[in-house]
Structure 1
Amino acid sequence: MSDNVLSKLSLFMAALFTSGLLYLIYSKQINALNMLFSIGAIVMSLSWCYKLSKKYKAKNSVNELIKRDGNLLECKSAGTVFTSNIDIQKIEKVTICHQYISIIEENNGKGYDVFLISDAQEIMVHMLNLFTKEELKTIDLIKA
Structure 2
Amino acid sequence: MAAVIKFLLKVVIFAAAFYGLTYFDVLPGLEVLANPDGPLGEYGSYLWIGLIFGIVNAVVGPVLRLLSLPFLLLTLGLFLLIINAALLGLTAAITDRLTIDGFGTAVIGGLIFAIVGWAADQMLDS
TM-score by length of structure 1 reads 0.27
Larger relative helix fraction: 2
RCO greater where, 1 or 2, for CA within 8 Å and sep 6 or more?
2
TM-score by length of structure 2 reads 0.30
Larger relative strand fraction: 1
